[in-house]
Structure 1
Amino acid sequence: MSTASTRVPEGRYGRSSAARSDRTLKIVGGVLGALLLLLVGWFGYHYVGQNKISAEVISFEISDQAVKVHLEVRKDSGAAGYCTLRSQAESGDEVGRADFRFDQDATRIDKVVTLRTKARGTSAELLGCHAD
Protein backbone atom coordinates (compact mmCIF):
# COMPACT_ATOMS: atom_id res chain seq x y z
CA MET A 1 0.00 0.00 0.00
CA SER A 2 1.32 3.45 -0.78
CA THR A 3 1.18 6.52 1.37
CA ALA A 4 -0.01 9.87 0.13
CA SER A 5 2.61 12.54 -0.44
CA THR A 6 2.26 15.75 1.55
CA ARG A 7 4.43 17.79 -0.81
CA VAL A 8 2.88 20.01 -3.44
CA PRO A 9 3.68 19.41 -7.11
CA GLU A 10 6.86 21.19 -8.33
CA GLY A 11 6.21 24.53 -10.05
CA ARG A 12 2.49 24.49 -9.50
CA TYR A 13 2.30 27.15 -6.76
CA GLY A 14 5.36 29.32 -7.55
CA ARG A 15 8.67 29.43 -5.76
CA SER A 16 8.94 28.39 -2.18
CA SER A 17 10.04 30.92 0.43
CA ALA A 18 13.18 28.85 1.07
CA ALA A 19 14.27 29.28 -2.57
CA ARG A 20 13.67 33.06 -2.37
CA SER A 21 15.67 33.44 0.83
CA ASP A 22 18.43 31.26 -0.62
CA ARG A 23 18.70 33.57 -3.64
CA THR A 24 18.71 36.66 -1.41
CA LEU A 25 21.50 35.21 0.74
CA LYS A 26 23.59 34.49 -2.36
CA ILE A 27 23.17 38.06 -3.61
CA VAL A 28 24.00 39.60 -0.22
CA GLY A 29 27.02 37.29 0.15
CA GLY A 30 28.27 38.19 -3.32
CA VAL A 31 27.96 41.92 -2.66
CA LEU A 32 29.69 41.66 0.73
CA GLY A 33 32.46 39.52 -0.79
CA ALA A 34 33.04 42.09 -3.56
CA LEU A 35 33.17 44.92 -1.01
CA LEU A 36 35.69 43.00 1.10
CA LEU A 37 37.84 42.41 -1.98
CA LEU A 38 37.75 46.12 -2.83
CA LEU A 39 38.68 47.07 0.74
CA VAL A 40 41.66 44.70 0.80
CA GLY A 41 42.79 46.01 -2.59
CA TRP A 42 42.52 49.62 -1.43
CA PHE A 43 44.55 48.97 1.72
CA GLY A 44 47.13 47.00 -0.25
CA TYR A 45 47.53 49.76 -2.82
CA HIS A 46 48.00 52.44 -0.20
CA TYR A 47 50.35 50.32 1.89
CA VAL A 48 52.54 49.01 -0.95
CA GLY A 49 51.86 51.22 -3.94
CA GLN A 50 51.96 54.59 -2.23
CA ASN A 51 54.85 53.81 0.12
CA LYS A 52 57.77 55.58 -1.56
CA ILE A 53 60.33 54.62 1.08
CA SER A 54 60.70 51.50 3.21
CA ALA A 55 63.50 49.91 5.19
CA GLU A 56 64.54 46.79 7.03
CA VAL A 57 66.88 46.28 9.98
CA ILE A 58 69.56 43.84 8.88
CA SER A 59 71.59 43.75 12.11
CA PHE A 60 72.53 45.85 15.12
CA GLU A 61 75.38 46.11 17.64
CA ILE A 62 74.81 47.28 21.20
CA SER A 63 77.15 49.31 23.41
CA ASP A 64 76.54 51.21 26.66
CA GLN A 65 75.81 54.58 25.00
CA ALA A 66 74.71 53.71 21.43
CA VAL A 67 73.27 51.13 19.09
CA LYS A 68 74.75 50.77 15.60
CA VAL A 69 72.02 49.69 13.19
CA HIS A 70 72.57 48.32 9.68
CA LEU A 71 69.60 49.45 7.58
CA GLU A 72 68.62 48.44 4.08
CA VAL A 73 66.47 51.23 2.62
CA ARG A 74 64.41 50.83 -0.57
CA LYS A 75 62.83 53.88 -2.15
CA ASP A 76 61.74 55.43 -5.41
CA SER A 77 64.48 57.17 -7.37
CA GLY A 78 64.55 60.82 -6.39
CA ALA A 79 62.32 60.29 -3.37
CA ALA A 80 63.49 61.75 -0.08
CA GLY A 81 62.40 60.80 3.39
CA TYR A 82 63.37 59.57 6.81
CA CYS A 83 63.16 56.43 8.92
CA THR A 84 62.53 56.40 12.67
CA LEU A 85 64.46 53.99 14.90
CA ARG A 86 64.22 53.34 18.61
CA SER A 87 65.98 51.26 21.22
CA GLN A 88 64.58 49.87 24.45
CA ALA A 89 66.23 48.75 27.66
CA GLU A 90 65.68 45.29 29.09
CA SER A 91 62.92 46.74 31.29
CA GLY A 92 61.03 47.95 28.21
CA ASP A 93 61.80 51.64 28.73
CA GLU A 94 62.72 53.59 25.62
CA VAL A 95 66.37 54.65 25.85
CA GLY A 96 66.83 56.16 22.40
CA ARG A 97 64.85 57.37 19.39
CA ALA A 98 65.99 59.21 16.28
CA ASP A 99 65.07 59.98 12.66
CA PHE A 100 67.59 59.27 9.91
CA ARG A 101 67.26 61.02 6.52
CA PHE A 102 67.76 59.33 3.16
CA ASP A 103 67.99 61.85 0.30
CA GLN A 104 70.25 59.96 -2.12
CA ASP A 105 69.05 59.24 -5.68
CA ALA A 106 69.77 55.51 -5.37
CA THR A 107 66.79 53.14 -5.07
CA ARG A 108 68.55 50.81 -2.61
CA ILE A 109 70.77 52.09 0.19
CA ASP A 110 72.72 50.01 2.72
CA LYS A 111 73.79 52.21 5.61
CA VAL A 112 74.99 51.77 9.19
CA VAL A 113 73.55 54.50 11.44
CA THR A 114 74.34 55.18 15.10
CA LEU A 115 71.43 55.63 17.49
CA ARG A 116 72.60 57.35 20.69
CA THR A 117 71.03 55.99 23.89
CA LYS A 118 70.78 57.32 27.45
CA ALA A 119 71.33 53.82 28.89
CA ARG A 120 72.24 50.39 27.54
CA GLY A 121 69.68 49.33 24.97
CA THR A 122 68.83 45.72 24.18
CA SER A 123 67.06 46.20 20.85
CA ALA A 124 66.88 48.22 17.67
CA GLU A 125 63.40 48.65 16.26
CA LEU A 126 62.35 50.30 13.01
CA LEU A 127 59.18 52.26 13.74
CA GLY A 128 58.56 53.29 10.15
CA CYS A 129 59.66 55.32 7.15
CA HIS A 130 57.98 58.40 5.70
CA ALA A 131 58.48 60.19 2.39
CA ASP A 132 58.68 63.97 2.33
Structure 2
Amino acid sequence: MADTSQGVSPGGTPTGPSGARPVRPPAGRYGRTDAERSRTGRRGKRIYYTAVGLVVAVVVAIAWKYAAGSSVNGEVQTFQVVSDHAVKITLTVSKPSDKAASCTVRSRDADGNEVGRVTVSIPRGSGDATPTVLLRTTSRGTTGELVGCS
Protein backbone atom coordinates (compact mmCIF):
# COMPACT_ATOMS: atom_id res chain seq x y z
CA MET A 1 0.00 0.00 0.00
CA ALA A 2 1.28 3.47 -0.90
CA ASP A 3 1.93 6.19 1.65
CA THR A 4 -0.74 8.91 1.15
CA SER A 5 0.01 10.95 4.22
CA GLN A 6 1.40 14.44 3.88
CA GLY A 7 4.66 15.14 5.55
CA VAL A 8 6.80 18.10 6.42
CA SER A 9 10.12 18.69 4.74
CA PRO A 10 13.22 19.31 6.88
CA GLY A 11 12.81 23.08 6.27
CA GLY A 12 9.27 23.02 7.70
CA THR A 13 7.46 23.33 4.35
CA PRO A 14 4.41 21.05 3.89
CA THR A 15 4.90 18.50 1.15
CA GLY A 16 2.51 16.41 -0.87
CA PRO A 17 2.34 12.61 -0.95
CA SER A 18 5.50 12.31 -3.02
CA GLY A 19 7.36 14.77 -0.79
CA ALA A 20 8.47 16.80 -3.80
CA ARG A 21 6.41 19.97 -3.90
CA PRO A 22 4.40 22.11 -1.48
CA VAL A 23 0.69 21.61 -1.08
CA ARG A 24 -1.40 24.50 -2.53
CA PRO A 25 -5.13 25.11 -2.25
CA PRO A 26 -7.24 24.67 -5.37
CA ALA A 27 -6.87 27.55 -7.84
CA GLY A 28 -9.33 30.38 -7.31
CA ARG A 29 -10.70 28.98 -4.07
CA TYR A 30 -9.17 31.46 -1.60
CA GLY A 31 -8.81 34.64 -3.63
CA ARG A 32 -5.89 35.85 -5.67
CA THR A 33 -2.61 34.03 -6.05
CA ASP A 34 0.72 35.50 -5.01
CA ALA A 35 1.52 36.36 -8.64
CA GLU A 36 -1.78 38.23 -9.06
CA ARG A 37 -1.21 40.12 -5.81
CA SER A 38 2.28 41.05 -6.95
CA ARG A 39 1.02 42.39 -10.31
CA THR A 40 -1.72 44.43 -8.65
CA GLY A 41 0.72 45.76 -6.07
CA ARG A 42 3.10 46.94 -8.76
CA ARG A 43 0.29 48.58 -10.71
CA GLY A 44 -0.94 50.31 -7.55
CA LYS A 45 2.55 51.57 -6.81
CA ARG A 46 2.88 52.90 -10.36
CA ILE A 47 -0.44 54.72 -10.08
CA TYR A 48 0.52 56.12 -6.67
CA TYR A 49 3.93 57.37 -7.78
CA THR A 50 2.46 58.86 -10.98
CA ALA A 51 -0.16 60.74 -8.95
CA VAL A 52 2.45 62.00 -6.49
CA GLY A 53 4.65 63.11 -9.40
CA LEU A 54 1.77 65.04 -10.97
CA VAL A 55 0.94 66.77 -7.68
CA VAL A 56 4.59 67.76 -7.20
CA ALA A 57 4.74 69.08 -10.79
CA VAL A 58 1.62 71.22 -10.23
CA VAL A 59 2.99 72.62 -6.96
CA VAL A 60 6.32 73.45 -8.62
CA ALA A 61 4.55 75.15 -11.55
CA ILE A 62 2.44 77.29 -9.19
CA ALA A 63 5.48 78.18 -7.09
CA TRP A 64 7.44 79.10 -10.23
CA LYS A 65 4.66 81.38 -11.45
CA TYR A 66 4.37 82.96 -8.00
CA ALA A 67 8.14 83.42 -7.63
CA ALA A 68 8.45 84.97 -11.08
CA GLY A 69 6.10 87.66 -9.82
CA SER A 70 4.63 90.56 -11.69
CA SER A 71 6.67 92.63 -14.08
CA VAL A 72 4.79 95.73 -12.86
CA ASN A 73 6.00 97.32 -9.63
CA GLY A 74 4.58 100.35 -7.90
CA GLU A 75 5.39 102.47 -4.87
CA VAL A 76 3.80 105.45 -3.13
CA GLN A 77 6.12 108.44 -3.42
CA THR A 78 4.02 110.93 -1.47
CA PHE A 79 0.50 111.43 -0.22
CA GLN A 80 -1.15 114.58 1.02
CA VAL A 81 -4.50 115.03 2.76
CA VAL A 82 -6.05 117.83 0.72
CA SER A 83 -9.39 118.11 2.53
CA ASP A 84 -11.88 116.11 4.57
CA HIS A 85 -12.95 114.38 1.35
CA ALA A 86 -9.79 114.10 -0.77
CA VAL A 87 -6.25 112.69 -0.62
CA LYS A 88 -3.61 113.32 -3.30
CA ILE A 89 -1.33 110.30 -3.93
CA THR A 90 1.76 110.28 -6.16
CA LEU A 91 3.00 106.87 -7.35
CA THR A 92 6.12 105.61 -9.07
CA VAL A 93 5.31 102.70 -11.40
CA SER A 94 7.90 100.58 -13.24
CA LYS A 95 6.64 98.41 -16.08
CA PRO A 96 7.62 97.15 -19.53
CA SER A 97 7.09 99.94 -22.07
CA ASP A 98 5.00 97.70 -24.34
CA LYS A 99 2.55 96.82 -21.56
CA ALA A 100 -0.32 98.79 -20.02
CA ALA A 101 -0.74 98.59 -16.25
CA SER A 102 -3.24 99.45 -13.57
CA CYS A 103 -2.61 100.29 -9.90
CA THR A 104 -5.14 100.42 -7.08
CA VAL A 105 -4.72 102.99 -4.28
CA ARG A 106 -6.74 103.56 -1.15
CA SER A 107 -7.01 105.78 1.90
CA ARG A 108 -7.91 104.92 5.48
CA ASP A 109 -9.22 107.02 8.32
CA ALA A 110 -7.71 107.29 11.82
CA ASP A 111 -9.54 104.10 12.91
CA GLY A 112 -8.13 102.09 9.98
CA ASN A 113 -11.38 101.97 8.01
CA GLU A 114 -11.10 102.31 4.25
CA VAL A 115 -12.64 105.61 3.17
CA GLY A 116 -11.69 105.65 -0.52
CA ARG A 117 -10.32 103.42 -3.28
CA VAL A 118 -9.61 103.91 -6.96
CA THR A 119 -7.82 102.04 -9.74
CA VAL A 120 -5.54 104.10 -11.99
CA SER A 121 -4.73 103.01 -15.56
CA ILE A 122 -1.22 103.59 -16.89
CA PRO A 123 -1.09 103.33 -20.70
CA ARG A 124 1.61 101.49 -22.60
CA GLY A 125 4.38 103.52 -24.11
CA SER A 126 6.65 104.52 -21.26
CA GLY A 127 8.54 102.18 -18.97
CA ASP A 128 8.35 104.26 -15.82
CA ALA A 129 5.47 106.52 -14.85
CA THR A 130 4.71 108.85 -11.92
CA PRO A 131 0.95 109.36 -11.91
CA THR A 132 -0.68 111.64 -9.33
CA VAL A 133 -4.17 110.61 -8.20
CA LEU A 134 -6.75 112.77 -6.45
CA LEU A 135 -8.65 110.19 -4.40
CA ARG A 136 -12.14 111.19 -3.26
CA THR A 137 -12.96 109.89 0.23
CA THR A 138 -16.17 109.44 2.23
CA SER A 139 -14.59 111.01 5.32
CA ARG A 140 -11.19 112.40 6.32
CA GLY A 141 -8.44 110.05 5.16
CA THR A 142 -5.15 109.87 7.02
CA THR A 143 -3.16 107.60 4.68
CA GLY A 144 -2.48 107.03 1.00
CA GLU A 145 -1.65 103.41 0.28
CA LEU A 146 -0.86 101.35 -2.78
CA VAL A 147 -2.95 98.16 -2.76
CA GLY A 148 -1.25 96.65 -5.80
CA CYS A 149 -0.33 96.93 -9.47
CA SER A 150 -0.82 94.56 -12.37
Bin for the TM-score computed over the shorter chain: 0.5 to 0.7
Percent identity for Structure 1 against Structure 2:
37
Q: Taking structure 2 as the reference length, what is the TM-score of the superposition?
A: 0.55
Q: 2:127 aligns with which of 78, 84, 107?
A: 107
Cα separation, 1, equivalents of 2:120 and 2:74: 11
Consecutive aligned runs of 4 or more in structure 1 exceeding 3 Å deviation: none
Q: Over the residues paired in the alignment, what is the CA RMSD in angstroms?
A: 1.9
Cα separation, 2, equivalents of 1:52 and 1:113: 22
User: How far off is 1:122 after superposition?
Assistant: 0.5
Aligned counterpart, 1:56: 75
Cα separation, 1, equivalents of 2:72 and 2:67: 15
Aligned counterpart, 1:128: 148
Name structure 2 gaps, 5 residues minimum: 1-55
SS at match of 1:44: helix
SS at match of 1:92: coil
Does the CA-based 8 Å contact 2:97-2:127 persist in structure 1? yes
> Per-residue displacement from partner, 1:34-57 (whole Å, max 9, x unpaired)?
x9xx78x72422x1xxx1322100
Does the CA-based 8 Å contact 1:53-1:79 persist in structure 2? no
Cα separation, 2, equivalents of 1:81 and 1:75: 7
Cα separation, 2, equivalents of 1:115 and 1:125: 11
Name structure 1 gaps, 5 residues minimum: 1-34
Flag the structure with more relative contact order, 1 or 2, with Cα contacts below 8 A and sequence separation at least 6: 1
Q: Higher strand fraction: Structure 1 or Structure 2?
A: 1
1:44-123 → structure 2 map (5 Å cutoff): 44-45=67-68, 47=69, 51-63=70-82, 64-123=84-143
Cα separation, 2, equivalents of 1:119 and 1:69: 16
Does the CA-based 8 Å contact 1:71-1:110 persist in structure 2? yes
